Amino acid sequence: MENKGIKLINEDGKRIDGRLYNELRPIKMEVGVLEKSDGSAYVEQGKTKIFAAVFGPKELHPRHLALPDRAVINCRYHMASFSVEERKQLGMTRREIELSKVIRHALETAVFLEKFPRAGIDVFIEVIQADGGTRVAGLNAASLALADAGIYMRDLVVGCAVGKVDGRIVLDLCDIEDKYGEADMPIAFSPRLNSILLLQLNGKLSIEEFNEAIKLAKEGCMKIYELMKETLKKKYSYIIMEEE
């Protein structure tokens, strides 16, 4: 969060990777990419690459953790050791435990947990390559994997980061912008519930900047939301065609 003289936006308003302040990185999405899970997805946002896999709803073990009126989501966000330049330490770090928890909270609001009493739903998020925005891209992958598993949801949760770089509010920060910018604010949003389901802020923003950032993040989320719906439609419309 400390800019040590690195210029992140040039005179033409272009960012370090050539984007304008309101541009997302190129996005690739696919569902049903893993055979062994009930639902899966792959999401690429710029150089950030993530797989998500969902198992369940199924009987929860150990049984005493089961809830009589709803399902329990177990969520694990994990970064592969080779996903960052300096090999990440093995095992779950404090950061990964925290991110697993905030992602789980966002997903819990969206899933109809009450439809699956006593059940467990496992959500695994594996960051294969990290270049900023991994928690939000991970959330997008998890949301797609849950839908791919056929789990009833109120809406797809969609995440996008926004932040402040060289004094400007910008969308979808890459790693360098995250590290040397003034603020990074990942957000998860449900368009149908019109509700923000995750909001974290690292750095400082004025009230005006905060409001501008929320507006920009929601616009980014809406673009990603459309791509997510397209991705799901593509897979399932293909299956319908195959059966005809």
Query: Which lies closer to ligand ADP via its Cβ, residue 38 or residue 172?
Result: 172
Pick the binder of ligand ADP from 37, 40, 100, 134 (CB under 6 A).
Answer: 134
Element (H, E) at 27: strand 27-31
Between CA 75 and CA 49, with CA 232 as vertex, the angle to 5 degrees is 55
Contacts with 177 (C-beta within 8 Å, 6 or more apart), sequence order: 8, 15, 16, 132, 163, 165, 170, 184
Task: List the structure tokens of 165.
Answer: 């770089």
According to DSSP H, which parts of the chain are helical?
94-110, 134-148, 175-180, 207-243
Is residue 186 at the binding interface for ligand ADP, with CB under 6 A as the rule? Answer: yes
Site for ligand ADP in 17-76 (CB under 6 A): none
Q: Smallest gap, in angstroms, from Cβ of residue 158 to ligand ADP?
A: 14
- Taking CB under 6 A as the binding criterion, the range among 6-14, 20-28, 127-135, 232-240 that sits at the site for ligand ADP is 127-135
Between CA 143 and CA 154, with CA 149 as vertex, the angle to 5 degrees is 50
Is residue 217 at the binding interface for ligand ADP, with CB under 6 A as the rule? Answer: no
- Taking CB under 6 A as the binding criterion, the range among 1-9, 27-35, 65-73, 81-89 that sits at the site for ligand ADP is 81-89
Binding site for ligand ADP (CB under 6 A): 84, 86, 88, 95, 130-135, 161, 175, 178, 184, 186
